[in-house]
Amino acid sequence: MTKRLLALSLGILTSISVSASVITYDNRTTNAGVDKTDYQSSWNAQSTEVRSRDLTTFTKVLPQRPDRKHAQHSHLNISFDVSQEKAGQNWWFQFSPDAGLGGEIYFDGNLVERNTTDLWWGYRWSRGSELLEAVIDGLDSGTHTLDLFWAEGCCNGGQSGRFSVDDGATWLAVSTDNLNAVGVPEPGTLALLGLGLVGLVFSRRQQKS
């Protein structure tokens, strides 16, 4: 019985999986103009090489060379999980791309903001008109994605992102660690859940016997 219980416990704990968040930043030289009515299509219309890298945080990030001082398009993709335990929270996102030709945000494939003006925050989050923002009320559990597309004419500066789950009272940097910590249960919570399920099974078996 003890061996069976230990095997059951291990099976339950290993079946509770938590997917890590992923942040991917792509940029490419502009060679086909900029379509301010659809930055995603404008990104896809370019025929230049895509330079891609995975990030642990989107904080004061610069494009890779040689695009840093050339007209360019950029794409930021963020994938993160929200557990059932964390569902229902309001998520606020703010991004500060250096986008002299504007940009847009998609959440789960749906356009949530487009700003065609010259976006440069100057390292000051108070400059709201220079940011791309998304507010998602009562976020459901499951895997979610954020996609940003923007265009810059020259000389890209440091770019950052942050988010809040308490309606802007506190802000966290957009990083894999912060997204994981806020979106999914702590490891200790998972362990307690697994042990609780084991105890429930054991109790029912005792009652039957």
pLDDT one-digit tens code per residue, 109-119: 999 999 999 99
Using CA atoms, how far apart are residues 151 and 156, in angstroms rounded to an integer?
10
Is residue 158 within 8 Å of residue 62, measured between CB atoms?
A: yes
Whether 84 and 141 have beta carbons less than 8 Å apart is answered as: yes
Residue 115: CB atoms within 10 A of its CB come to 20
Q: What pLDDT sits at residue 184?
A: 85
The candidate with the shortest Cα–Cα distance to 78, out of 21, 27, 20, 131, is: 21
Structure tokens at 163: 């988010």
**103 vs 116: CA distance, rounded Å:** 6
Q: Backbone phi, then psi, for 103, in 5-degree steps?
A: -170, -175
Tell me the mean pLDDT in the region 201-207.
56
Q: Which range is most confident: 1-15, 137-151, 190-204?
A: 137-151
CB 56 within 8 A of CB 157: no
The pLDDT, as a whole number, for residue 209 is 54
20-188 has which fold? Answer: Jelly Rolls (2.60.120)
**β-bridge mates for residue 51, sequence order:** 27
- What whole-number percentage of the chain has pLDDT above 90? 71
Q: Please provide residue 64's backbone torsions phi and psi, each rounded to the nearest 5 degrees.
A: -75, 150
- pTM summary value: 0.81
Sequence-distant (6+) residues with CB within 8 A of 17 are none
What is the pLDDT averaged over residues 82-109? 96
Q: Which of these ranges, 25-34, 116-125, 177-186, has the smallest mean pLDDT?
A: 177-186
For the stretch 8-63, pLDDT in tens is 444 544 444 456 899 999 999 999 999 999 999 999 999 999 999 999 999 999 98
Domain range summary for the chain, segments of one domain joined by +:
20-188
